[in-house]
């Protein structure tokens, strides 16, 4: 354990120009407080990762980096998605820090908790999870969908920390281990508990988004949840098998019933039952094919071994011009 660790705060940013000034102020303020308390070393920094924003996010990051050496910026060539952007920042920060804290740009996660993260780190924990105490400030839709997501994940056997998002501290050793996870569909919340290492939890209050709008519309949320389940669990595919077995058992009973009816001489050509069979079986088959297809799709993506992100620029590389435009 390092007595005064170099800490990197990694912040993925996608079209966050509205909230970035406030985020910079809050994070640097927190960093200053921690440095003066001698909780972290003076070389500690904030690393903003621009996840292919279309607005002025990168311009602001370059400006901040030029004005203050505690600010660094990493620009991805395109929108790689929250998890990949976060991962790219963690891998960049890992080489120049003892531990990293990941936090969203919108300041929904209370920055004051970082001090407690560091206390737990000093006690020898390699992973410190930030756990939300309550979700009072989220919309009820967001809250309910998130709760359903956690419940569903538990049913599907994925071990997640309840109410933990991506606000956490990771030691350099934990990050070294994280790098070994080569899967294409990154779902950090599911992977981090698999790393092992001693871990601790810190509770904090979830705040409202400081500015701007959510970058997680329903479409992205659903795909995030879907990825979480299909990347970590084969239970959906097993459910289809169970459904198949039950359908088979039911059809045995149906055949017995038909034979009995024939024996009783009361057979009426049944349009209804045929229609029901066609629809029910057709539906079951389609669902089954869909789930199998989902896994095959994943295999397809995995075998391609595509890079998860492409770095376009890093503010510490001295190849940029003053405005940072010609990286």
Contact 140, 205 (CB under 8 A): no
Residues 6+ apart with CB under 8 A from 8: 44, 45, 46, 47, 93, 94, 96, 97, 99, 100, 101
Dist CA 19 CA 2 (whole Å): 33
Site for ligand UDP, residues 23 to 52, rule: CB under 6 A: 51
Rounded alpha-carbon distances, angstroms, from residue 200 to 116, 122, 170, 269: 10, 11, 11, 67
Contact 13, 88 (CB under 8 A): no
CB of 321 to ligand UDP, least distance (A): 25
Token digits of residue 167: 């606000």
Token digits of residue 157: 């056997």
Identity of the residue, 4 or 209, whose beta carbon is nearer to ligand UDP in the bound complex: 209
The span of 38-46, 170-178, 192-200, 210-218 binding ligand UDP (CB under 6 A) equals 210-218
CB of 59 to ligand UDP, least distance (A): 16
φ, ψ at 73 (rounded to 5°): -135, 140
Q: Is residue 16 a contact residue for Mg ion (CB under 5 A)?
A: no
CB of 219 to Mg ion, least distance (A): 16
Dist CA 114 CA 102 (whole Å): 10
Token digits of residue 320: 């940029």
Which of 108, 199, 230, 315 is close enough to bind ligand UDP by CB under 6 A?
Answer: 108
79 makes contact, choosing from ligand UDP, Mg ion, none, with CB < 5 to 8 Å by partner type, with ligand UDP
Identity of the residue, 48 or 314, whose beta carbon is nearer to Mg ion in the bound complex: 48
Contact 199, 126 (CB under 8 A): yes
Q: Is residue 215 a contact residue for ligand UDP (CB under 6 A)?
A: yes
Q: Is residue 75 a contact residue for ligand UDP (CB under 6 A)?
A: no
CB of 47 to Mg ion, least distance (A): 18
Q: Is residue 108 a contact residue for Mg ion (CB under 5 A)?
A: yes
Q: Is residue 106 a contact residue for ligand UDP (CB under 6 A)?
A: yes
The C-alpha angle with vertex 301 and arms to 299 and 304, in degrees rounded to 5, equals 105
Dist CA 284 CA 135 (whole Å): 37
Identity of the residue, 223 or 273, whose beta carbon is nearer to ligand UDP in the bound complex: 223
Q: Is 306 helix (H, G, I), strand (E, B) or coil?
A: coil
Contact 130, 206 (CB under 8 A): no
Which residue matches tokens 């057709």?
282
Q: Is residue 166 a contact residue for Mg ion (CB under 5 A)?
A: no
CB of 117 to ligand UDP, least distance (A): 18
Q: Is residue 17 a contact residue for ligand UDP (CB under 6 A)?
A: no
CB of 133 to ligand UDP, least distance (A): 16
Dist CA 309 CA 49 (whole Å): 12
CB of 105 to Mg ion, least distance (A): 8
Residue nearest to Mg ion (CB): 106
CB of 72 to Mg ion, least distance (A): 22
Dist CA 89 CA 287 (whole Å): 38
Q: Is residue 231 a contact residue for ligand UDP (CB under 6 A)?
A: no
Which of 18, 50, 51, 106 is close enough to bind Mg ion by CB under 5 A?
Answer: 106
Identity of the residue, 107 or 229, whose beta carbon is nearer to ligand UDP in the bound complex: 107
Q: Is residue 214 a contact residue for ligand UDP (CB under 6 A)?
A: yes
By CB atoms closer than 10 A (0-12, 13-18, 19+), residue 77 is exposed
Residues forming the site for ligand UDP (CB under 6 A): 12-14, 16, 51, 79, 81-82, 85, 104-106, 108, 214-216
Binding residues (CB under 5 A) for Mg ion: these are 104, 106, 108
């Amino acid at each position: 354990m390092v007595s005064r660790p170099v800490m990197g705060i990694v912040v993925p940013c996608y079209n966050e120009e509205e909230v970035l000034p406030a985020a910079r102020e809050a994070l640097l303020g927190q960093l200053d407080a921690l440095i003066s308390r001698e909780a972290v070393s003076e070389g500690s920094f904030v690393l903003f990762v621009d996840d292919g924003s279309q607005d002025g996010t990168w311009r602001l990051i370059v400006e901040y980096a030029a004005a203050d050496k505690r600010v660094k910026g990493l620009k991805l060539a395109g929108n790689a998605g929250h998890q990949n952007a976060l991962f790219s920042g963690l891998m960049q920060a890992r080489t120049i820090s003892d531990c990293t804290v990941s936090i969203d740009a919108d300041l929904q996660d209370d920055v004051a908790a970082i001090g407690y993260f560091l206390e737990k780190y000093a006690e020898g924990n390699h992973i410190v999870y930030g756990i939300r105490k309550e979700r009072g400030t989220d919309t009820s839709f967001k809250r309910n969908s998130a709760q359903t997501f956690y419940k569903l994940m538990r049913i599907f056997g994925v071990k997640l920390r309840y109410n933990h998002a991506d606000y956490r501290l990771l030691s350099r050793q934990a990050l070294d281990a994280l790098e070994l996870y080569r899967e294409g569909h990154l779902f950090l919340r599911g992977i981090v508990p698999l790393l092992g290492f001693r871990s601790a939890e810190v509770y904090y209050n979830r705040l409202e988004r400081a500015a701007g709008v959510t970058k997680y519309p329903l479409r992205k949320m659903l795909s995030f949840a879907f990825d979480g389940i299909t990347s970590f669990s084969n239970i959906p595919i097993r459910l289809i098998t169970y459904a198949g077995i039950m359908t088979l058992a039911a059809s045995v009973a149906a055949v017995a019933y038909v034979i009995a009816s024939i024996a009783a001489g009361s057979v009426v050509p049944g349009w209804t039952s045929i229609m029901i069979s066609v629809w029910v079986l057709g539906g079951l088959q389609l669902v089954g094919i869909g789930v199998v297809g989902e896994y095959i799709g994943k295999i397809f993506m995995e075998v391609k071994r595509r890079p998860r992100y492409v770095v376009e620029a890093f503010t510490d590389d001295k190849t940029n011009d003053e405005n940072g435009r010609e990286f």
